[in-house]
């Protein structure tokens, strides 16, 4: 028996927010002081570091659970399964449903329950729950689905990652340009085929690192002190990820028994182009090897960082030949890897 991802789906919002759209923003330093550079310079430096040219924002009438439902529908259709046979719906997110132009997060009921309701699944034994694990949430959901199936507790699981980060950003913070909205989903099930999930690795670094990403006040000190926005210590996250994500990937690959030369693609969380490139270089250096050309597909340039949605969306795009110059063929070994708030990291070695 192999545990495989038999279907995928994603929802990419149609609204495009280009870098030029930020030229009129009032960016401020964390202490509220003015930045002594014109916005054109700020945006150009941002692009050079992150690689982001544009990002996607959800329509005002859609919430994270709506995006998750749309991605889930596609995954179910792609896997060609009866949705009433799904044993678990696992929904990864970080902020719940945040309505447009609102400040309150809504997770009652949980997003997985909302998505199950929208799918019109009648089976009460289909258990729906949410997972809060930062940006690595979707991969962690896949790991949990794998555990349920391996333990004989399930045969089919739907794992969703969905987020509307555009609604929890501080528009006076340069980091707000990183974040975007979107959803990705996958059906994880037991099959008679070979391959599937070969190994996985997860870790939570909380002693010093727990608050590298946090909820904080706006850089604009005139705004409400009780309203919080997503904030991060970018340099600390970069240094943390460079060492720990590469090491987690190595632990995972070593457990799988697969040789580094046989890895065809590494699908890493789309957080920051320069950071992801540095992680891949560090990972291959651990094997005294050089990263092959085209090993790391990227979607961040056009889609931005949609947190839990980046990896499943990237996987779905490649499976459907929608990412130029990148394909996955039967028998290829790929690695999923992510890092995010918590600070959590994880990796999965997967034979396609």
| pLDDT score, position 226 | 86
pLDDT of the chain along its 352 residues, tens only? 899 999 999 999 999 999 999 988 899 889 889 898 888 999 999 999 899 999 999 999 999 999 999 999 999 999 999 999 999 999 999 999 999 988 889 999 999 999 999 999 999 999 999 999 999 999 999 999 999 999 999 999 999 999 999 999 999 999 999 999 999 999 999 999 889 999 999 999 999 999 999 999 999 998 988 899 999 998 999 999 999 999 999 999 999 999 999 999 999 999 999 999 999 999 999 999 999 999 999 999 999 999 999 999 999 999 999 998 899 999 999 999 999 999 999 999 999 9
pTM of the entire predicted model: 0.95
Going by C-alpha positions, the residue among 57, 63, 122, 132 that lies closest to residue 91 is: 132
Asked if residues 52 and 179 have their Cβ atoms less than 8 Å apart, the reply is no
Residues 180, 105, 188, CA angle at the centre, nearest 5°?
65
Q: Which residue has the tokens 């705004």?
A: 223
CA distance 196 to 11: 24
The structure tokens 């926005």 sit at 229
Predicted confidence at residue 127, as pLDDT, reads 98
Domains and CATH numbers, the chain: 2-194 (3.40.47.10), 198-351 (3.40.47.10)
Q: Is the peptide bond before 343 cis (omega within 30 degrees of 0)?
A: yes
């Amino acid at each position: 028996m192999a545990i495989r991802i038999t279907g995928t789906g994603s929802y990419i919002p149609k609204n495009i927010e280009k870098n030029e759209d930020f030229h009129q923003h009032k960016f401020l330093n964390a202490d509220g002081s003015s930045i002594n550079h014109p916005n054109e310079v700020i945006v150009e430096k941002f692009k050079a570091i992150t690689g982001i040219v544009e990002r996607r924002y959800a329509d005002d009438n859609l919430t994270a659970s709506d995006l998750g439902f749309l991605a889930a529908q596609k995954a179910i259709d792609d896997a060609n399964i009866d949705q009433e046979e799904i044993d678990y719906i696992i929904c990864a997110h970080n902020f719940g449903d945040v309505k447009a132009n609102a400040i309150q997060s809504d997770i009652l009921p949980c997003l997985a329950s909302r998505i199950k309701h929208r799918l019109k699944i009648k089976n009460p034994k289909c258990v729906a729950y949410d997972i809060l694990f930062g940006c690595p949430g979707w991969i962690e959901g896949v790991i949990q689905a794998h555990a349920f199936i391996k333990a004989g507790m399930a045969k089919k699981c739907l794992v969703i990652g969905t987020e509307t980060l555009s609604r929890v950003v501080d528009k006076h913070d340069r980091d707000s340009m990183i974040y975007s909205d979107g959803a990705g989903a996958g059906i994880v099930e037991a099959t008679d085929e070979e391959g599937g999930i070969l190994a996985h690795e997860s870790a939570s670094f909380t002693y010093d690192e727990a608050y590298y990403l946090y909820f904080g006040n706006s850089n604009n000190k005139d705004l409400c002190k009780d309203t919080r926005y997503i904030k991060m210590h970018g340099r600390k996250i970069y240094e943390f990820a460079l060492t720990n994500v590469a090491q987690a990937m190595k632990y995972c690959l070593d457990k799988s028994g697969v040789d580094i030369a046989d890895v065809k693609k590494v699908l890493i969380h789309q957080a920051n182009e320069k950071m992801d490139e540095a992680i891949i270089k560090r990972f291959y250096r651990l094997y005294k090897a050089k990263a092959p050309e085209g090993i790391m597909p990227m979607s961040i340039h056009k889609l931005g960082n949609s947190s839990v949605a980046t990896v499943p969306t990237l996987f779905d795009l490649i499976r459907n030949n929608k990412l130029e110059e990148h394909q996955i063929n039967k028998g290829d070994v790929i690695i999923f890897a992510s890092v995010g708030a918590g600070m959590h990291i994880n990796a999965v070695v997967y034979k396609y």
